Amino acid sequence: MIKDNLELVQNNIKEAYLNSKHKQEVNLIAVSKTHSVNQILEAYNCGIRDFGENKVQELLGKIDLLPSDIRWHLIGHLQTNKVKYIIDKVYLIHSVDSYKLALEIDKQAKKKNVYSNILIQVNISGEESKFGIEKDEAIELVKKISLLENIKIKGLMTIAPACENPENCREIFSLLYNLSIDILSLNIDNINRLNLSMGMSNDYLVAIDEGANFVRIGTDIFGKRDYKREN
Ligand SMILES: *Cc1c(COP(=O)(O)O)cnc(C)c1O
């Protein structure tokens, strides 16, 4: 079933890419939070190598049980005191939204002698419940973080509000795209390309149309999440 779901999602991505405005590279991240190691292996055996988790503890519990060529994406809010556990284990941190967090990432990366790839999470929709830096503050944050030696800013991430009609999220995605163009036009040292992580099961087709480079898809691949089974 995961195999069939993946085939459908991958075909949809290809089609959306062919019709998209910007014809950018699109990467699929299979969001495996709450799902078992066996389910992840099923997707792995279909060729998927990028997996997304939103909780540090859950991620750490899975990493050692799974093949080492998996690229782990941390897509959830990251607490400063947990950075040290994951710094050399994840491929990309999608959720950096404060200078304080970036400083800790830089510090821990230096300790382990690694470079940390991050995205800046922007709260485009302005929803109070969402993490992410406000859009108006994003440029200053990017400038400050770009000076940290062991961090590489690889792009921007946003989470659209849950909307019934994905077309209602289009503006949010296009605002993130425009923000990335604005930032690139400033020619900030160490920033020459910004990937956009946006789009989930409900809205990834619209997100791709508006320039997504990473889509984060859970439900459409693994089915509904059962939060009662957590931990
Ligand atoms: C859970 C989650 C997703 C995947 O959501 P689906 O609707 O299941 O595709 C994507 N991004 C983030 C940040 C998430 O927490």
Contact at 8 Å (CB) between 102 and 145?
yes
Quick one: which of 75, 6, 10, 20 has its CA closest to 212? 20
To test the pocket of ligand 1, the residue of 54, 120, 230 to mutate (highest count of ligand atoms within 8 Å of its CB) is: 54
Counting from 1 in the atom list of ligand 1, the atom nearest the Cα of 33 is 1
206-230 per-position pLDDT tens digit = 999 999 999 999 999 999 998 765 4
Residue 98 identity: S
Say yes or no: CB of residue 218 within 6 Å of ligand 1. Answer: yes
- Specify whether the CB–CB gap between 140 and 183 falls below 8 A: no
CA distances from 17 to 28, 54, 153, 171 (A): 12, 26, 24, 18
Beta pairing class for 151-157 and 195-197: parallel
Low-confidence ranges of the chain (pLDDT < 70): 129, 228-231
pLDDT for the residue 128: 72
Ligand 1 center from residue 113 Cα (angstroms): 31
- For ligand 1, whether the C-beta of 201 sits within 6 Å is yes
* Best residue among 50, 169, 201, 216 to mutate for probing ligand 1, ranked by most atoms within 8 Å of CB: 216
Query: At CB < 8 A and 24+ separation, what contacts does 45-50 make?
Result: 46/2, 46/3, 46/6, 48/6, 50/91
Burial class from Cβ neighbours inside 10 Å (0-12, 13-18, 19+) for residue 210 reads buried
CA nearest ligand 1 atom 7, residue: 201
Rounded to whole angstroms, the Cα distance separating 226 from 185 reads 44
- Tell me the one-letter amino acid at 27: N
pLDDT of residue 230: 47
Query: Does the beta carbon of 35 lie inside 6 Å of ligand 1?
Result: no
Question: Helix crossing, 135-145 with 170-184: angle to 10°?
Answer: 40
Closest protein CA for atom 10 of ligand 1: 216
Pairing of strands 116-123, 71-74: unpaired
**Greatest CA separation found in the chain?**
47
Closest CA to 9 of 210, 186, 208, 154: 208
Tens of pLDDT along 159-176? 999 878 999 999 999 999
pLDDT value at position 231? Answer: 40
